[in-house]
Amino acid sequence: MVELTTQDIGDLWVEGKHPDLEVLSPQPLVAATPIALMAGQRITTTDRIFIRNIQDFPEAHTVAARPIEGWEIELVGLMTPSRIVIQAEELLDMEQVEYEMVLQCSGNGRAMYPSIPGTPWNQGGVANVVFSGVPLSAVLEKHGVIIDPQVRYVTAEGREGAMGPELSDLEHSLPVADVLATSIIALRLNGEPLPGIHGGPVRLITPGFFGTMQLKWLARLRFEVSESTCFYHAVEYRVPLSPVKPGDDFEFTLDNSRPTWLIKLMSYVLEPAPHATVARGTVTVSGVAYNDGMARLEAVLVSVDRGETWQPTQFDTPDSPYAWYLWSTQVQLDPGEHEIWARAIDYLGRSQPLDGSVNWNPNGYEWTGVFKTPITVS
Amino acid sequence: MVELTTQDIGDLWVEGKHPDLEVLSPQPLVAATPIALMAGQRITTTDRIFIRNIQDFPEAHTVAARPIEGWEIELVGLMTPSRIVIQAEELLDMEQVEYEMVLQCSGNGRAMYPSIPGTPWNQGGVANVVFSGVPLSAVLEKHGVIIDPQVRYVTAEGREGAMGPELSDLEHSLPVADVLATSIIALRLNGEPLPGIHGGPVRLITPGFFGTMQLKWLARLRFEVSESTCFYHAVEYRVPLSPVKPGDDFEFTLDNSRPTWLIKLMSYVLEPAPHATVARGTVTVSGVAYNDGMARLEAVLVSVDRGETWQPTQFDTPDSPYAWYLWSTQVQLDPGEHEIWARAIDYLGRSQPLDGSVNWNPNGYEWTGVFKTPITVS
């Protein structure tokens, strides 16, 4: 097993010492990939995938695979039978399903909100990856499990423990309909056995949902009528249902807020990189864009005059509804300081606010605003 | 009192026999105003306001005011005291608040959805009007009423009765926070006493909400923990929380659906009128656009090449967040058949789908798609 220090984790991405490298905090493990390093990659290579682990799991401090032998997953709740235990190893012999999909921290972009505590993600808490594994529905079928129609949520627990005796153990609930329709117990990431640091040997993956909902080191699934009341699900990783004034206090309840479930529409400029200097004239601008997979993107627009006018970009629609789109266009730029703005719109009519802080929320989740990339034209 | 027949109601709008006049059904009263008749009106004149009354109230078949003397409104529920009765007449002496606001049937645009039963509204179930009256919060304060913090909904009932013994009596629930923040008991419409046909003498008005939530002939308000289980609130006038395939059956429950509360982002071309013939060259295009008042509109865009390119339009931002915007621009058109498309986007990043039927729902509510106005250029 390759043992990693926090600094090693940083080194995973940057092939040397990239000046934008940020290991945001030593523990729990957090590190972001400078967004420009993703340019030219349809699939984000595993060494550039951001890391955000709420709880520390020392034996998973590794980019190597973790042994699957002996790993058990318990299924309990309103189901018949009321409890089964499956061996993760048996999943290896079942039919595998693959998702090319965006993996994004729900706190990505937090640094753009005013007055927010917490990990100051800018744009680097995102990747486009391939997970593969076995549909949970196939596991249920194989074991003859019948889910009670009263069940509304599936709550997932990982094997890692709480960071202290006073803290909740992390778990998250997902709508049962989505879990039964699309969730897989993932065994592989980008074609390789799932690295320990990314949840290996087994992780619950539900495409279209934020990263925090992709529970690592899957140990237990509960089929229940109600959502988890765990701190991380019932208080953190939620947004108020009604707008809150920036800086205002807000007491989260299950009724006045919702979980950070579905990924928000986003677009990023990957090229030119932020603060780059480029030559005058025709400048190629490219980037990525995505949503929660509910509808195709209709357009990605670029503005170099601070939103006065927008020009369409070119892209191919990926086969997977959960994957990001690679878009590009060319703009004409005179010498001076410029900002490149990108904005996507999808076939549901969802777009991005010019100032994403209109969606301010106390923990700074679900940034969906237009990113503004400053560049210098020489 | 001016007594009206159904045909009279139609005549209210059309100043003669406009060919597009539609009195959609004789009973309950329904009639739409051809959208082009609203061109050039910042405030829709009262004789052009659409009518949609779910229940018949024969004594309100009049464009005249209805007597306010003796009209009582009961307030009951989780409040201290647990019941009060107020005289509507006392509202005349209290401070009045005015809202310029969009009044829109939640079924407006229904004719654009495939496979939908129900009143085939096209674009005419909308108006921009001025309601004035007394904030409900001021009435509560005057009478020393304290609302219990457990209350989550305010359910409003009107004095009209059900259309048959087997039918529910219409009522609707609104979130208590919105009601206490913005609802008024309206006494006047466009500066005149509220006409009987539009809910006079008193109507509960909450700006930003669809027309069905603006309860006419207000008789009773209930302050409760739960939503109404009335058919019109718990089954009709709801949309599923998750997408439904067009034509599929759906059994509405309070949990799997939500009320048609907040007005959706919309834009309309008022000029040229649909199917108009205009001269080649520079063509003035104008219309209206609005949302639920949660954020200003950022832009209204027009396309004359079926969405390939979009050009911005000019507008002033109205003082009232709930009012519609009057926008206009000029386009260059060659002879032939054309379509004019309009699309708004607001500062929350909300826009309109090119094909609004992506939001298909069994009762055809909340159309927010781009309207496509066919014209001929000679």
Q: Is residue A287 pLDDT above 60, yes or no?
A: yes
Residue in chain B nearest A295 by alpha carbon: B358
Q: What is the mean predicted confidence (pLDDT) over A59-72?
A: 89
Please give the residue of chain B at the shortest CA–CA distance from A346. Answer: B353
Q: Note whether A349 contacts B: Cβ–Cβ < 8 A.
A: yes
- For A308-349, write each residue's pLDDT tens digit: 999 999 999 999 999 999 999 999 999 999 999 999 999 999
**pLDDT tens-digit map of A251-285:** 999 989 999 999 999 999 999 998 999 999 999 99
Could you read off the pLDDT of A112-139 as tens digits, one per residue? 898 787 667 788 889 999 999 999 999 9
Nearest CA in chain A to B355: A347
Mean pLDDT of all residues in B336-341: 97
- pLDDT tier at A34, thresholds 50, 70, 90: confident
Q: Name the residue of chain B whose CA is nearest to A348's CA.
A: B353
Q: How confident is the model over B167-187, as pLDDT tens digits?
A: 888 999 999 999 999 999 999
- Cβ distance B294 to A351 less than 8 Å, yes or no, reads no
Q: List CB contacts (< 8 A) between B305 and chain A.
A: none
Six-digit token string for A43: 């699939």
Residue B238, pLDDT above cutoff 50: yes
Element (H, E) at A51: strand A51-52
Residue A300: phi and psi, rounded to 5, are -120, 125
Residue B369 with chain A: CB contacts under 8 Å: 349
At A35 the pLDDT is 78
Among A179, A354, A355, A361, pick the best mutation site for testing chain B contact (most B Cβ within 10 A): A354
| CA atoms of B343 and B371, how far apart (whole Å) | 8
Q: What percent of chain B has pLDDT over 90?
A: 72
B244–A contact, CB cutoff 8 A: no
- The pLDDT score that the predictor gives to residue A29 is 63
Question: Are the beta carbons of B348 and A369 separated by less than 8 Å?
Answer: no
CB-nearest to B349 from A309, A312, A352 is A352
Q: What per-residue confidence (pLDDT) applies to B189?
A: 98
Contacts for B44 with CB less than 8 Å, ≥ 6 apart:
B33, B38, B127, B128, B129
Tell me which chain A residues have a C-beta less than 8 angstroms from the C-beta of B355: 347
Nearest CA-CA partner of A199 in A208, A207, A209, A211: A211
Kindly report, residue by residue over A139-151, the tens digit of the pLDDT.
999 999 999 999 9
Query: What band does B276 get if pLDDT is binned at 50, 70 and 90?
Result: very high
Q: Is the pLDDT confidence value at A368 over 90?
A: yes
Residue B222 has pLDDT above 90, yes or no: yes
Domains of chain B: 6-259 (3.90.420.10), 266-377 (2.60.40.650)
User: What's the pLDDT score for residue B13?
Assistant: 40
Mean pLDDT of chain A: 90
B291 in contact with A, Cβ within 8 Å: no
Flag whether residue B351 sits within 8 Å of chain A, measured between CB atoms. Answer: yes
Residue B354 contacts A, CB cutoff 8 Å: yes
pLDDT winner (highest mean) among A160-169, B137-146, B242-251: B137-146
Chain A residues in contact with B349 (beta carbon < 8 A) = 265, 350-354, 356, 358, 368-369
* Burial class of residue B143 (count of CB atoms within 10 Å of its CB; 0-12, 13-18, 19+): middle
pLDDT of residue B32: 72
Please judge whether A351 and B354 are an interchain contact, meaning their C-beta atoms are less than 8 angstroms apart: no
Question: What is the 8-class DSSP label of residue A14?
Answer: H
Confidence of residue B118 (pLDDT cuts 50, 70, 90): low
Instruction: Determine if the pTM surpasses 0.90.
Output: no
B70: left (phi over 0), alpha (psi -120 to 50) or beta: left
pLDDT number for residue A118? 67
Q: How many CB atoms lie within 10 A of CB A22?
A: 17
**What is the pLDDT, as a whole number, of residue B3?**
47
Give the Cα separation of A281 and B8 in Å (integer).
66
Which pLDDT value is given to residue B52?
Answer: 83
Residue in B152, B242, B347 closest to A358 by CB: B347
* 0.90 surpassed by complex ipTM: no
Per the CB < 8 Å rule, is A368 touching B352? no
A298 interfaces chain B, CB cutoff of 8 Å: yes
The arithmetic mean of pLDDT across residues B254-274, rounded, is 95
